[in-house]
Chains A and B, each alone.
Chain A
Amino acid sequence: MTRYGSGDGAVAFPAAVPARGGTTAAPGPGAGEGPGSRRGRGGPGRRGTAVRDHQGRWGWLFTTPMVVVLGLFLLLPIGMAAWVSLLKWDGQSNPFSGAADFVGVRNYADLLTGPGQDRQLFMTSIRNNLYYVILVVPLQTVLSLGLALAVHHRRVKGKGFFRTVFYFPSVTSSIAISTVFLFLFQGSGAVNALLKWVGITGPKWFTDAHGLVWSVLGLLGVVDPDKPVPALATHGFLGLSWWDWLSGPSIAMCTLIVLAVWTTSGTYMLMFLAALQDVPVELEEAALLDGANRWQSFRNVTLPAIRPVVFLVTTLGLIGTWQVFDAVYVMSQGAPANTTLTPAYLSYTAGFQDADYGRAAAIAFILLAIILVMTLIQRLLLRERYRDGGSTARRPRARGLFPRRRSS
Chain B
Amino acid sequence: MNAPSTTAATRGGTDRMSQGTRPPAAGQGRRKSRRLGDPFLRTVLYLLLAGVALLYLLPFVIQIVTSLKTDPDAAAHPLSLLPDPFSLDSYRRLFGLGGADADAVPFTRWLANSVLVTVFITAGRVFFDSLAGYALARLDFRGRTVLFQGVLVVMSVPGVVLLIPKFLVLNELGIFDTYAGMIIPLLVDAAGVFIMRQFFLSIPKEVEEAAKIDGASVFRTFWSVVLPMARPALITLTILSFQGSWNEFTHFLVATQSPQYETLTTGLAHLVSGSLSAGTQYPLKLTAALLSTIPVAALFFFFQRHFVRSANSGAVKQ
Q: Give A contacts to B, CB under 8 Å.
A: 2, 4-9, 11-20, 22, 24-25, 27-29, 31, 33-39, 51-52, 54-60, 62-63, 65-67, 69-70, 72-78, 80-81, 84, 91, 95, 146-147, 149-151, 153, 155-156, 161-169, 171-184, 186, 188-190, 193-194, 262, 266, 270-271, 273-275, 277-278, 280-281, 288-291, 293-295, 298-299, 319, 322-323, 325-326, 329-331, 333, 344, 347-348, 350-352, 357, 360-361, 364-365, 367-368, 371, 375, 392-395, 407-408
Contact = CB atoms under 8 A, between A and B. Distances in A.
A320 to B, nearest CB: 9
Contact of B169 (A34, A73, A173, A178): A73
B152 interface: yes
A389 B173 CA distance: 38
Contacts of B268: 175-176, 179
> A-B pairs with the 6 shortest C-beta distances?
A7-B191, A59-B141, A393-B314, A77-B165, A62-B135, A81-B165
A277 B21 contact: no
B122 interface: no
Nearest to B229: A16
Per DSSP, chain A at the interface is helix
B56 to A, nearest CB: 5
Interface in B34-60: 34, 37, 42, 45-46, 48-49, 52-53, 55-57, 59-60
B17 interface: yes
Interface of B: 2-5, 7-10, 13, 16-18, 20-22, 27, 30-31, 34, 37, 42, 45-46, 48-49, 52-53, 55-57, 59-60, 62-63, 66, 74-75, 78-79, 128-129, 131-132, 134-145, 147-152, 154-169, 171-173, 184-185, 187-199, 201-205, 218-219, 222, 229-230, 232-233, 236, 240, 243-244, 246-247, 249-250, 253-254, 264-265, 268-269, 272-273, 282, 285-286, 288-290, 292-293, 296-297, 300-301, 304, 306-318
B158 A319 contact: yes
5 contacts: A95-B168, A270-B308, A271-B311, A298-B8, A323-B160
B297 A67 contact: no
B45 A156 contact: yes
A293 B273 contact: no
Contacts of A14: 199, 232-233, 236, 306, 309-310, 313
A172 B60 CA distance: 11
A32 B247 CA distance: 33
A176 B293 contact: yes
Given A17-B204, A262-B56, A78 B162 contact: yes
B202 A18 contact: yes
B289 A179 contact: yes
Given A27-B194, A59-B139, A72-B173, 17 more contacts: A7-B240, A34-B137, A62-B134, A66-B188, A74-B162, A80-B169, A84-B165, A175-B268, A184-B78, A266-B56, A273-B312, A293-B16, A294-B9, A295-B13, A326-B269, A329-B269, A352-B167
A97 to B, nearest CB: 12
B101 to A, nearest CB: 20
Given A65-B128, A156-B49, A162-B49, A146 B7 contact: yes
Nearest to B5: A295
Contacts of A186: 78
